[in-house]
Structure 1
Amino acid sequence: MHGQETFMPQEFAELSALELSTPELADAAVRLGLAVRVAPPGIAAVTPGQRVLGRALPVRHYGSVDVFLEAYGTAGPGQVLVIDNGGRADEACAGDLAVLEAAAAGIAGVVIWGLHRDTPQLEEIGLPVFSYGSNPLGPLRVDPREPEALASARFGPHLVTAEDLVVADRDGVLFLPASHARELAETAAAIHATERAQADRIRAGDTLRRQTSFEDYLTRRAADPAYTFREHLRLVGGAIEV
C-alpha cells in the first residue's frame, strides 16, 4: 500500500490489514452469492507488486483533466479513483500531475480503463496506479460530458459507483459491493487459512488427492453423475474450488 495514512470504515480496514488477495476475495464473493465484477484481463500495476483497496471514486474522462480535479474536491481519504476512458488505446488519460494531485487529495490509488503515461514519474510518486499500459500521447479531443461524469464509471462490461469496493493486486482488479465488506473479509480469511493449510500438507507429503478424498469422490460420481466436485469439497472442507 502507498505510505500515506488513510481513513476507511472498520470493515475496509480489516480487509486491508489482512491483505487478502483478489482470488481469495473473488472466491469469497462467489461463496456468498455476490456478483463478481472483474476488470477485463491485462490490467497491471505501473510499479509491479503494488496493491490497493478502498471505496471507489468513479470518474468518466472526456479528454480534459478538469473532471479529475472536480472529483478530487469530493474525495474521501482512502478512496480509489476509477477512471473510465472507454478502454481507449490511442491515448493516455492520466500522467504524473494528475496522480500527484490524487495523492495530495488523499486518494489511495488509481485504476484506469485505459492507458497512462509518465511511467518513471509515476514510479517515483509511489501511488498505486493500475492501467492497461502506457502511451506517450495525451488526449487530442474534448468530448461532450455526460450527466453521470462523477456518479459512475464504466469498466469493461461493468458499472462502478461509490457503493463499490475496489481491490487491485498482481492478479487483477475486482469491484465488489462495499456493503458486504465484513462478510467478504471473514469468508476470504477462512478460504485463505484453509488453502494455506492444504498447501503446507502437500509440501509435507499429504497429496491434495488424499486430502480431498478424491477416490471417494470418483466412486460417488460413478454412482451419481450429478454429484459435483464442488459439493464434495464442501463436504470435506476443501477450498480449491468453491
Structure 2
Amino acid sequence: MTKKLLRPHQKVIKILAFSLALFGAQAGHAQQAFVATGGDATGAGGSASFSIGQVIDTAPESGSGSVSQGVQQAFDDAVLPVTLVSFTAAVVNDRVQLRWETASELNNDFFTVERSADAVHFEEMTRVAAVGNSNISTKYNWTDDGALTGTSYYRLKQTDFDLTSTYSTMRAVTISSLAGTIVYPNPAVDLLTVRDAKNQKSDRSYQIFDLNGRMVMDKTVLNSHKMIDLSPLLPATYVIRLSNKSEVKEFKIVKN
C-alpha cells in the first residue's frame, strides 16, 4: 500500500484543527476567577449559588442541565487576631489554676481574666500581657489564690492593640465550702472543736452517730469556729457528719 505524504501546509492545517478541537473540549469545564463574597454562578442550562471560592462551570455536552459544582475551594479569608487552642480551669488545694494556649497571635495586647459567681456578672481579676505577634505556640497561666467557695465561672477577654476585644467560652469550677474543715482534739474528752479553715460564716448542721448508725446528737454550727460538748456521750468511737445545703463531710472521732 502506498503511504500518502502530506504537504507542509496540510500538516499545519491538521495540527491547527486538533488544537481547536482540544480547546473546545476543555471549554465546557471553564473555571472562573476567585470570588470573595459569594453569589450565583450561571452555566450552560442552569445555575447554582455559592459562598467563597472559585466557581466551576460543568454543563453537560447536551447543553441542558445545571451547574453541578458551585464551589471548588471554600475557606474563610478573614484573619483571626488570636487562635486559642485550649483554656482550662482546675482546682488545686482550694485555689483555681487557669491555663491557656494560643497557636498564633496578631496584634494581641493582653488577656483579662474575669470571674463570676453566677455566670452573668463578671469582675476583672487580673491582666496578663500577651506576646503581641507570633506564629508559634504560646502558653499562659494564672492562679486565683482567693477563689470563691461553691461554683464560680472564669473567662478570658482578649484585647488587641486597637482595643478590639473578644471573649472565650466560660469554664466552671467548684470548691467545697467544707474544704479545709477540721475537728480536734481527737481523741477528745468533753469538748470537740470544729474549725473551717476558710472561715465560712454560713450555717451548717452536724450529727453524731455511733458505729451502729444510731444518731446520738443533732446540732447546728452557727459560725466557723464551734465547740461541741461531748460530755453527754459515753466513751466510744463515733462518726460526726457535717453538712450544709449541698455538701456533706464525715469524720471518725474517739471520745474518751
Same fold (TM over 0.5): no
* Structure-2-length-normalised TM-score: 0.21
